[in-house]
Amino acid sequence: MSAIHAERVPAVRGALRRAAARDPLLAAAGCVAALAVAAAVAAPLIAPYDPAGVDQLEVFGPPSAAHWLGTDDLGRDVLSRIIHGARPTLAGPALVVLVSGVLGTALGVAAAWFGGRTDAVLSRALEVVLAFPGLVLAVIAAAVLGTGFAAPVVVLSIAYVPVLARVVRAAAIREAHLPYVEALRLQGASGPTICLRHLLPNLAPLILVQSTVGFGYALLDLAAVNFLGLGLQPPAAEWGLMIADGRSAVLGGHPGQALFPAAAVVAVVVSVNVLGERLADRFGLVEA
């Protein structure tokens, strides 16, 4: 086992080093994203402390060997809370992107394919949804549905549909007017066959890039919702909520509690945007 590792590690390391030398920004973004995902997946294994473990003797501890990022107003380990907080912080936008991606793609392709009245009705409906900022909808949802993890995710999933649907629709219209689609029609291929077997694979790179960028926005929006106290409630560990909790401590001379989760949000959002941009370059897309 260790022998295999000993041979492989230098090879992997060499490949990574070459990749990093070619595009250091992409390499850094990839590392941040991978770290965040690893933290979310393996939080209980990685986190040195219980994220809810209160220790009154260690309130506002500075970064130290025992607590790398210090402790917060209740003496909880900030690093452990960031690691555990990665779960809801990343799962929320992932769900938003997944749900709005499926719905947006379906509606966009349908509008493009059927055209005419269907397109007009769908497009106007999407514009109506688009007219409401996602955050405003999330606030209304909190009032109607109450706080928690699910309500803002559901509402943002719907709020994000038009963004993707409109981009997909425009690309699908372009695609559907290519002669190969006419050739398929002349062959007698059915509409669903053409859409699923030909349009979707050709739209996939665009959808992937849009979803990547959308993930960053959704993360920011959900963190904001939680920051405003309309989503998850204390003592849950979530980055937006942690920033809110640490707000008052900043003025008290203990910025760490708010600063480190804020840095985590910024790092992940910037990384995700870099990844999206590089993907768009890779697929030859001009980012919308």
Partner 1 sequence: MAETGTGAPLLEASELRKVFRVRNRAARGREEAVAVDGVSFRLERGGALAVVGGSGSGKTTTARMVVGLEAPTSGTVRVEGEDWSHRRPTARERRRRGSVVQMVFQDPYSSLDRRQSVRGCLEEALALHGAGRSGRPAARRRADALLDRVGLAPAHGGLRPGALSGGQRQRVAIARALAADPRLLVLDEAVAALDVSIQAQVLNLLADIRADTGLALLFVTHDLAAARHLCDRVLVMDGGRVAEQGPTDDVLAAPRAACTRRLIESLPRPGWTPRRSIGRADPSAAPSTDPSAGGPGGGPHVPHPTGIPDPGRTAP
Separation in Å, CA 42 to CA 65, 86, 87, 193, 196: 22, 10, 9, 41, 36
# of chain residues touching partner 1 (CB under 8 A): 17
Which residues are registered as beta bridge partners of 23? none
Asked if 282 interacts with partner 1 (CB under 8 A), we say: no
- Out of 190, 234, 263, 266, name the contact with partner 1 by CB under 8 A: 190
Nearer to partner 1, 148 or 191 (CB): 191
Q: What is the nearest approach in angstroms of partner 1 to the Cβ of residue 109?
A: 15
β-sheet bridge partners, residue 77? 71
User: Phi first, then psi: what are they for 59, rounded to 5°?
Assistant: -65, 135
Stretch near partner 1 under the rule CB under 8 A, chosen from 36-44, 61-69, 146-154, 186-194:
186-194
The residue within the footprint of partner 1, chosen from 1, 6, 131, 201 (CB under 8 A), is 201
Residue 144 phi, psi (nearest 5)? -85, -50
Please give the helix or strand (H or E) that residue 240 lies within, else none.
helix 239-251
Among 94, 140, 198, 250, binds partner 1 (CB under 8 A): 198
Question: Does residue 65 belong to the site contacting partner 1 (CB under 8 A)?
Answer: no
Q: What angle do CA 160, 161, 163 make, to 5 degrees?
A: 70
In whole angstroms, the minimum distance from the beta carbon of 285 to partner 1 comes to 14
Closer CB to partner 1, residue 198 or residue 278?
Answer: 198
What part of residues 241-280 is at the interface with partner 1 (CB under 8 A)? none
Going by the DSSP 8-state scheme, the letter that residue 230 receives in this structure is: S
CB nearer to partner 1: pick between 201 and 253 = 201
Q: Give the separation between CA 7 and CA 157, rounded to whole angstroms.
A: 46
Q: Does 284 bind partner 1 (CB under 8 A)?
A: no
Cα–Cα nearest to 196, from 71, 79, 98, 106: 106
Least distance (Å) between residue 282 CB and partner 1: 15
Tell me the C-alpha distance between 171 and 164, whole Å.
11
202 scored as a contact of partner 1 (CB under 8 A)? yes
Residue in 260, 230, 257, 263 with CA at minimum distance from that of residue 245: 257
Residue 261: closest CA among 208, 224, 211, 233 = 224
**Residue 160 in contact with residue 96, Cβ under 8 Å?**
yes
Among 8, 13, 185, 247, the residue binding partner 1 under the rule CB under 8 A is 185
Q: How far is the CB of 25 from partner 1 (least distance, A)?
A: 29
Q: Is 183 in the site for partner 1 (CB under 8 A)?
A: yes
Question: Nearest approach, Cβ of 253 to partner 1 (angstroms)?
Answer: 58
Point out which residues bind partner 1 (CB under 8 A): 178-180, 182-191, 197-198, 201-202
